[in-house]
Every structure is written in structure tokens, then in C-alpha cells.
Structure 1
């Protein structure tokens, strides 16, 4: 362990080949010190971005025909625009790769901050999107902790619009005669399901080159899990969405508000510092305090599952999939089915001791994820 840029770091031989060192997560104190240092360092490179949600005018491909305009939000910070965080590359050039990071269900941009820092060290320009209903993006219900969506395709179309109108133009230096630098997607859980649907959807209207060059997915939500059978979960979600689309579901547990008390039992097995840091970031900002799904969201998640599995054969770009063998929140069986059906090889890496919350995992898991992702995306550098 050494001190760099005022940040306590740990050396890792594989990551160091890409200029990456890891935060010292030995104790809560060392991790918190490291994350405060990350914020102080990245603040000079970070700006908030806003863009209009995708609508019918942004339709691409026959599979998205008929998508309605975005609902008028009940709560919106910036005129109904979606929020993303942009962390500029430290040494930008026409060859600078871009990383689009997609958070999971009920997560905010801060969930990706540590991983973004590692990709930033490796030379990336970073874009972290907060999906509709998450973080500082528009809300369609008064309860800021409740997640609702009318159409799963909206998530996918929003990501496509961000990449097509913001990320890709920024990655192309026309004056220098450079071709577009690579654009990669790193996505967790629900974000991973959205990323898979995006990869399939883009195949419907591919241009001369792919809009996204490769995907890294951590515990992707090919299908959500509940304590009930898939069939019964679908039935309850569909009935609930018909009668009370924007009401909180009661499939998992009867939680009626965000819990500001840190759940030590839930954090057991994860890295305590990482889990505690994310909890405190939630408590600090009201719009970060998401906690539950609506019936409408659950119905949309079922339709997303159907779309992903039915169109798996359309995947034509490289995919790296990290899997938790005993995932409590998404179906491992459906992940395996997706990998078998995919049109391009899906490289699956099983992290034996990992839980679903991979970005809050123990040291060994975080290092393995980042090392493997860098080698997958950038190749092994010459010694």
C-alpha cells in the first residue's frame, strides 16, 4: 500500500500494466479516505450533463416503433431532462476510449464512482447515466424512493440517445481525421439487462460500425428474481400494473420507506467500507434514496426479459459477463440461457464467492473484475 494523489492505494500487478492502482479497502477508515480523495481528484474533471429523454422522434429500428413520448414527470430537477455524470479523460486524444456506465435498479451515479476511477486511470472518458426514476433524473411518481417505468424500451432508447448524441460525437476528432475511438459499456444488474437489450436492438439498424464496441456486465438482470415462482410473479405484476401501476409491489418485503439505518446483516460478506460508503451517500441526498419497485416496473422487467431472450441471437459484439453463482436478485439460469443463445460468444466469468452487489464486494472480487475487464477491453499490453 502506498499514498498517491493523497489517496491510499493498493498495488496489483495485472492492473498496474494499465496504469491502475486500487483503493486501500483494508478498513472502513482507509476506504473512506480513499473515496474522499477520489472525489477531490476527479472533481476537476467532472461535469453534470443533461439531455432530453428519447421519444418517438428518436425511434430507430422496427422493434422500437410506436414508443410513446416520455411521460410528464412529477418531479424533475432540470426541465425533465435525464442526468449523467461526465468525467473527462486525464489525457484526452482522438484515440481516447469512452466508457458508458449504467447503474442497477435503485442505484445512483455514486455506485459507479470507484469503478469509474479505475477506468479513468486506464485512460477512459467516463459517462455515468442515471436512468429515468433514479438519482437526479426525472421521476414519474411522488415517492422519490419508488421506481416506475411505462415501457422498458424507454431505458434502452435513452442509453442509445446518450451514446449517439453525446458520447460518439465527443469520441470523434474530425479535424484530426481520426475515426471514432471505441465506446464501451459497463453495466450492473438492471443496467446490464438494458445493455443487453441495447446490443440486440442496435443490430436492427447497424451502420458501418457498431455504436458500442464491447460490453462488460456485472450480474446482469436477464430476468429478475422474487421469492415467488416466475409464473406467479408475472401474474401478480401484470394484475397489479393493470389496477395500480404506480403502487409499490409487495412481493419481496413490505418496506414502506427508505431505511436510513445501515443494515449490518445485509452487508455481511460484502466489503464493509464499500457498503457503508454507498449507504451514507444515499442518506446524504434525498433523490438517492430509492428502495422499492412498482407493479409497472415489475411488468416492464418481465417484458425486458422476454425481449432479451428472444433476440439473443442478434448480439454481434463482444460481451463479458460476470456471474454470482448464488445471486439473490437475478436469475443465473436465464443468464446461462442468454449466453447459449447469443449470436456472438459471451465470455462468462463466475466469481465464486461473490454476491449480486459486485461493486461493493471484497478486495479479491473487485480486483478480479477490473483486471479481467481491462484485459477484455484493451488487450494485454506488452511487457
Structure 2
């Protein structure tokens, strides 16, 4: 097979263990998954009700334009309908951007560590990857500016950043955008937008009018609790959206995803409640880390990156044996840490108890 040269040193995505696998492997009665930043409170109620009613016409192709959902989001965000692009999760939109703008001879800039799919897709398309190290979990935007050149095509900003959870401030973002050449697409990935509680942070949609080279990504997979239906969207300049639509597959967003996302948009109170509960439980993680003299990053998402005694892989395995699936920092570029989804109060109670055992084991080994 004449595979692309770029694939030679790449590895397929390796998903974590499922709840069923862990139950069987460790002979447990209960397993809590805190590894993928899903909503522990389930899907938005309006979407769940619609799903229970079973009214989706599964024998028909989806609306390729996502017309009804498009209209509703456009009204909610006060943007034009032609400013919206839909994908199978925001992951697919990342693929579209890479396919449309990156190839051999181009370069793309991103933080390290950050969401790995930016680099993954850039490698597939043969682009040079320029990574700028985080500073205390934050994007080093001055460092980004220093590595821009005439061949820079796409800049990726993840805010809140995955895996650290740190937020790019509104002031820092605006200052950065004024300095980026207008022929470079700046992708602002806001997968965790609904969880942001920082009172100084302003909705970034208003920046699109002033900066036509900005595109904002959001998703229904996190706060809205629709991860299984893979639906994300982008808001951007109509010309940018039009060009990205040229590489979008027809019927790429399922009928179920479109209908459920449209219903979920009505559940503002549910989203506010999830954000509030997440913030309250976040404080418990911070208090726990401080009480045990563990470093924890300043997160505005629905997860935390917390220090563990020793190796992240070993800590993750020990927690797995107690029924808690988390993400090892060794795989995320943050050795000595684990990334933990902020669960419900009961889930977190169990997690802290399991972590207590981890700390006790570490003390015995000293």
C-alpha cells in the first residue's frame, strides 16, 4: 500500500478502558468513569425526553444543512446562519480545518500540552507543527507570536485548555488577535465554554466581527451531555465557513444529533445548574489538593489536573483497581499528574476515599 509518509511514525488513537471492561477485569460491582470529561448529570432533559419518545426517522438521511438546528443556534447566538458549520463533534471540524488549510510547506502553532487532535491531524496532512510550552498551565501567547512566519496557516487555542483547564483571559485573547496577521486562521476551541465561571470572561462571539480570521468551536458533548451523538459546531466569518464546507462530508451530522441538540438548547436552567454544581465540586478538589499538599491546576472546565505521588500510570492503575477510571498524565504530556473529570458529589466522595488509599500506599513505600 502506498501510505502517506506522515503515517509511518504515527499510532492509532488508543481509547481508555470502558466501564464494562473494568468491571470484568477487576471483578468490581461498581465503576465510575472520570476519564473523558462527560457530564455526570446526564443529558439535557429536553433531549432525553425526545429520545425516549423515539420520534426520529432513522430510515432517512439527515438534513445535510442542519437547517432547523442552524436557525435555532443562529438566533440564540445572534449570528447569521451562514456563520455556522456543523460536525460530528468538534473533532470533525478540526479535521476539516486541517484538510482545508494544512499541507507540506505550511506550519501550524499550538500549545504543549494541549488537545492532541490538533497535532494529530496536522501530521496526517504533512504540515510542520510548532509547539509552544505552557507557562504554569497557561498559553504563552507571546511565544506563539514569536514563531509565526509567512508559512503559518493555522493557530490553535484551547480555552479552557485540555488537559490543564486554564482559561485564556479575555484581555490576553484580544491583545493576541490584534497582533496575528489576518491571513492566519485562529481556532479558539471552547469545548468547555458552558463551565466557565470567571466573572471577567466575556463571550467571544462578539470578537468575530472585528477579527474575521477567528473561528470558535463549541460542542454538545460536554455540558449538554450528548457525547454519544457526536455533534459540534463552529462560528466564524461566512467566507471561512463556506470554504470549510467544501471539505465537509455530506450528511455528516446524524438526524438524532441534530434533533437532540436542538431540543437541548432550550435547557438553559439545566446548563446553569450543571455549571454551578461543577464549580462547587471543583472547590472540593482544590481543598483536597491543598490539604494534602498536592499541586492542582486552575481549571475553568469540568475536570482537574492534579498531582499524584509518583507515576501517573501507576496512580491511574491503583485507582482503576478501586473502580475509578481516570486519565494518566503520562499520556497527556503532564507526568506525575492525573486528569479527573469532576463527578457528582457521591462520585467524588468515592474518588477522594480511593485517593486517600493511594496516598497511604505512597507513605508506606517511603
TM exceeding 0.5: no
Taking structure 2 as the reference length, the TM-score comes to 0.28
Taking structure 1 as the reference length, the TM-score comes to 0.27
